[in-house]
Chains A and B, each alone.
Chain A
Amino acid sequence: GAVVSQHPSWVICKSGTSVKIECRSLDFQATTMFWYRQFPKQSLMLMATSNEGSKATYEQGVEKDKFLINHASLTLSTLTVTSAHPEDSSFYICSARAPSGGTNTDTQYFGPGTRLTVL
């Protein structure tokens, strides 16, 4: 149980285009999902908290208009990198927070990540 998938696993795009990354919780419902960036040999940097049915909460320094987050259902959150530039190239990871009340309350389960390369 507690499987999170991401699609695509990798994407290469031209500068100026937009890229959408999907994050799905496959066997549980997640009212809260998180989006991270991970630079080579570095830790995860939280970008935003995605809340089902409401606006995302962005961390300081993360551009809301550039990284659009939509959490339209309890099993799906999307991150759209708009007008991508080479400096946006990174490894994007999502996680889904297990629902409250069970033994896995407050535990985050991570997707496999999406490698974005902007040319």
Chain B
Amino acid sequence: AQSVSQHNHHVILSEAASLELGCNYSYGGTVNLFWYVQYPGQHLQLLLKYFSGDPLVKGIKGFEAEFIKSKFSFNLRKPSVQWSDTAEYFCAVKAGSARQLTFGSGTQLTVLP
């Protein structure tokens, strides 16, 4: 069965620092990849997704992610974080023809003002 790994459980950054959150998956076939964000007390919101085409995907709020097929990775990046980016970030994978998503364990990002 496929799995999704987010190795950073908690990341603490100062405002204006650059961010990169790791996401690796285990599935050899075609995948659809997602990053979701959950702000404190709010529901999951879609940040960005990759289905095909350009492996560098731009999402909302200045986030981007790069799909590297050879590394089975889909890391999330933002060049300069803000205090308002404090949230939990989840990577998710849809493997092949499966309808469901497999989620990573999440990364809590805390941005210090």
> Given A106-B32, A106-B94, A46 and B100 touching (CB < 8 A)?
yes
Tell me the interface secondary structure of chain A in the complex: strand
> Which residue in chain A gives the minimum CB-CB distance to B91?
A43
Chain B residues whose CB sits within 8 angstroms of the CB of A42 once the complex forms: 105-106
Q: Report chain B residues within 8 Å CB of A111.
A: 43
Do residues A107 and B34 form an inter-chain contact, with CB atoms below 8 A?
yes
Contact, CB under 8 Å: A93 / B106: no
Closest residue on chain B to residue A111 by CB atoms: B43
Q: Which residue of B lies closest to A110 (CB)?
A: B44
Do A49 and B99 touch across chains, with their CB atoms under 8 A apart? yes
- The verdict on A12 contacting chain B, using a C-beta distance below 8 Å, is no
Interface residues of A (CB under 8 A from B): 32, 34, 41-44, 46, 49, 93, 95, 97, 105-113
